[in-house]
Structure 1
Amino acid sequence: MQTVMSAEDLMAFLVAEFDQVANDFIVEEVGGGKIRVRMAVAERHLRPGGTVSGPAMFALADVAAYLATLALIGPKALAVTTNCSIDFMRKPAAGVDLVADATVLKLGKLLSVTDVLIRSYGMDAPVARATLTYAIPPR
């Protein structure tokens, strides 16, 4: 799969289209249908007990899948999530950023399907796994 948007392009897109959350995410690597996105975990992402909330992990999975798709199709702001399944597998490490490794499994004309593994930064065991489907706007 040919990448058409670089990490820098994707970050600029986030700032232009989603400025309200752009500072939460950093595209670390992109290429060949894969992307690594880091979430800078802050107090607003935590739930009682000091762990990262499920909605914050969902946001990371969703942004990673969205950007993985855009890296292959270009800056289509109106690509939208049509389905998501997420499994929360273990508690994230306290006070540590989260990293999502996303892989586009299928890219068609109208849909993309992406698998996302989320880990606490520096740890091997995933804290969550998600599969997301995105609808791609017609050309």
Structure 2
Amino acid sequence: MTIYDFELEDNQGKKVSLRDFRGKVLLIVNTATRCGFTPQYKGLEEMHRRYKDYGFEIIDIPCNQFMNQAPEDDKGIQNFCSIKYDTIFLRMKKADVNGENELPLYTYLKFPRRSSGAGCRPF
């Protein structure tokens, strides 16, 4: 199994295959709209705009698991990020990072050998 075997759901309910990003540099980020790191959206967007034409992609996966710091629904998160930080990079549906409802992609990123078989490398 590789990262390209995963499929995510964007914040509008559309399925997104990570196969579509083969050959690109991916930065997969876990974000929240109400935490001390929220201003990171500005830097992420600057990086995205600067390098997107060179095959760089940011995939934002918001999460509300940590002290209720992303309480909005997916539309609310998108509106907040668009209005406050003018973000245009790809944003996925809000998902869990840990626990029994953890997004399988996060399991893979945290434990590539456990989720992809003995001896496999993440990429």
Q: Same fold (TM over 0.5)?
A: no
User: Which protein has the bigger strand share?
Assistant: 1
TM-score where L is the length of structure 1: 0.27
TM-score where L is the length of structure 2: 0.29
**Structure with the larger RCO, 1 or 2 (CA within 8 Å, 6+ apart):** 2
